[in-house]
Structure 1
Amino acid sequence: MSPAEGIEGKPGEEHKDLPPASPGAKIFTALAGPLASLALGVVCAFGVWILGVPTKMTYRTTTIGWVEPGSPAAKAGILPGDKILAIDGQRPELWAGGPGAVVESILLGINRDILLELDRDGREIVTVRVVPEPDKELEGLRRLGFEAYPAQSALV
């Protein structure tokens, strides 16, 4: 630890003023911080533009990874690994995040029953009718009790 004189100076010693700075130096100092922050923001934005925004790969699939025991999906005979080919005759392209996606078609569907066309291990096409139950957490929406591959907790 250094003695106090090393930091504050010796008692009775006069402090010297800083040399006067030109107006240009003062302006440069005042703008340096905000300009550095702006430059860092531009670099980060460019990086996201080049690399893209990370997304979960599960959103690009229509394969079921997990079925909640006792759920409407389990009662209808839906199995993990089944690939959803059609929901009420409409072909989904992705799991969530767009019109016609699996999650949106089930949560916001207007039909009482949902007709699912499933590809079971590439060997057979199975059609099942599922009666959704009201979602206990999301009022006004409905759920079947399965989630995308790889297995996650049930959202739909």
Structure 2
Amino acid sequence: MDMDLASLPDAIWNMALIKIVPFLFVLTVIVFFHELGHYLIGRWSGIKIMAFSIGFGPELVGVTDRHGTRWKLCAIPLGGYVKFFGDENAASMPSDAALREASAEDRARAFQSASVGKRAATVAAGPIANFILAIAIFAATAYASGIVVGDPIVSEVRPNSPAAVAGIQPGDRVTSADGERIRYFSDLQRYVSTRAGEPIQLGLERGGANKTVSVTPDLQTQTDGFGNSYQVAVIGIVANSEQAAFRHENLSPVEALNYGVSQTWFVIERTVAFIGGIFRGAEKADQIGGPIKIAQVSSQVATLGFAPLLNLAALLSISIGLLNLLPIPMLDGGHLLFYAFEAARGKPLSERVQEFGFRIGLALVMLLMVFAFWNDLSGRT
């Protein structure tokens, strides 16, 4: 097979654009809103802000505003940071030396000079901004395009599935799950998907009579339209368009907002259940992905349109918000842990203890990054 070497650079460039541009769009939106949360609450708390950066490394372009904050775009677009006065580095490790050399006015506006409540609020604002962004995206796309729903009526029961063992039959309408109302078939799917190995009490309507059955979902590996495999809990029932009456519904602004909140909560619940499942041995850690996986999925979803790419950004925004809440020094959750100790003992932890914690946190974050990269590379075909 002949290869046109002259066209090879263009082919490589086009492939890079297909892979990288959606990834950078998604990541930049998420990082910007995360750091904006820190920035806005920090400004509201009267803390002096030195820099707002998208990316790390050498500055590509930037501008300094009238408050003295340097807004900049840097060369390595894999994150970002807000640097407050009194921080030694982008990880917000405190610098007593910088405070000693500062003027009294600047010391009063340093991050470390703020009350523990204001510092905690400023740190927590980043992950909270990620959750608000996800709610806004889910709500906006649902309001603009509507949602597809179907009635929770069973069309088919897979042989030897948990549903078959529980005695569920075609034609049954699922009315509740552990006492929670099931309105649409998607409600049932969402409820089941996070509960592998956990018995669920399903309320059924069959021939005008109500009954309750216990079903325990199995964890199964499935494949999406792009060939990516994932694990999800299922009970083995199918709904078709004839019996479930799948249809398109438009939402009012209030309904769309409620939808955004419920979708965001579901993703949070699913992610927390997944992490817990890893420690229990019920989930496989090879589902954790890094930048390569995110770039791959972003490029795939981008082929479906802008709205699906926005929804992917919402999913990743939630994941990054939860990741930052882990109680690991260097992450927002680690800072919040330090502030909890400070509030309990009435004074901050010593600089030596905090420095040791940041070193441990750096090691843990690096291990997580290496593990995610390993999963990315080993999962490629």
Distance 1:111 1:136, change over 3 A: closer
The one-character-per-residue Cα deviations of 1:83-126 (angstroms, maximum 9, x if unpaired) are 00101110011112xxxx1110110237711110100021x211
- The answer to whether structure 1 residue 66 and structure 2 residue 156 are counterparts is yes
- Alignment coverage as a number of residue pairs: 93
In the alignment, residue 131 of structure 1 is paired with which amino acid? T
Q: 1:134 aligns with which of 219, 233, 236?
A: 219
Q: How does 1:102-141 map to 2 (within 5 A)?
A: 102-109=188-195, 112-122=198-208, 124-137=209-222, 138-139=230-231, 141=232
Structure in which a larger fraction of residues adopt helix: 2
1:29-82 CA distance string (max 9 Å, x none): xxxxxxxxxxxxxxxxxxxxxxx85865xx330111111111110111000100
State the Cα distance separating 1:147 from its structure 2 match: 1.4
Indicate conservation of the 8 Å contact 2:196/2:234, yes or no. no
State the SS of the aligned residue for 1:64: coil
For 1:54 and 1:105, the matched residues in 2 are separated by 21
The structure whose Rg is larger is 1
Q: Distance in 2 between matches of 1:76 and 1:151?
A: 24
Q: CA deviation at 1:135?
A: 1.3
Partner of residue 175, structure 2:
85
CA, structure 1 residues 111+92, in 2 after alignment: closer, same or farther (shift >3 Å)?
A: farther
Matched letter for residue 114 of structure 1? I
Q: Aligned in 2, Cα 1:151/1:142: closer, same or farther, shift over 3 Å?
A: farther
Give the match for residue 107 of structure 2.
Answer: none
SS at 2:164 equivalent: helix
Give the gaps of 5 or more residues in structure 2: 1-143, 223-229, 244-381
Residue matched to 1:147: 238
1:62 and 1:135 map into 2 onto residues whose CA distance is 21
Instruction: Give aligned-pair identity as a percent.
Output: 29
Query: In the alignment, is the contact (CA less than 8 A) between 1:73 and 1:144 conserved in 2?
Result: yes
Name stretches of at least 5 consecutive residues in structure 1 with no aligned partner: 1-51
**TM-score when scaled to structure 1?**
0.52
Call closer, same or farther: CA 1:134–1:151 in 2, change over 3 Å.
Answer: farther
| 1:132 Cα offset (Å) | 1.1
* RMSD (CA atoms): 2.4
* Bigger RCO of structures 1 and 2 (CA < 8 A, at least 6 apart): 1
Amino acid at match of 2:193: L
* Change over 3 Å in CA distance of 1:130–1:151 after alignment to 2: farther
- For residues 113 and 72 of structure 1, the distance between their equivalents in structure 2, rounded to whole angstroms, comes to 10
Give the 3-state SS of the residue equivalent to 2:155 in structure 1.
strand
Give distance in 1, aligned partners of 2:214 and 2:194. 17
Assess, with a 3 A threshold, how the Cα gap between structure 1 residues 110 and 68 changes in structure 2: closer, same or farther: closer
Amino acid at match of 2:203: E
| Distance of aligned partners of 1:72 and 1:81 in 2 relative to their CA distance in 1, 3 Å threshold | same
Q: Contact between 1:134 and 1:142, CA under 8 Å: does it hold in 2? A: yes
Name the amino acid aligned to 1:102.
L
Residues 151 and 129 of structure 1: is their aligned pair in 2 closer, same or farther, counting only changes over 3 Å?
Answer: farther
**Whole-Å Cα distance in 2 between the matches of residues 81 and 54 of structure 1?**
27
Q: Secondary structure at the match of 1:81?
A: coil
Are the equivalent residues in 1 in contact too, given 2:204–2:211 (CA < 8 A)? yes
Q: 1:114 to 1:151 in 2, by over 3 A?
A: farther
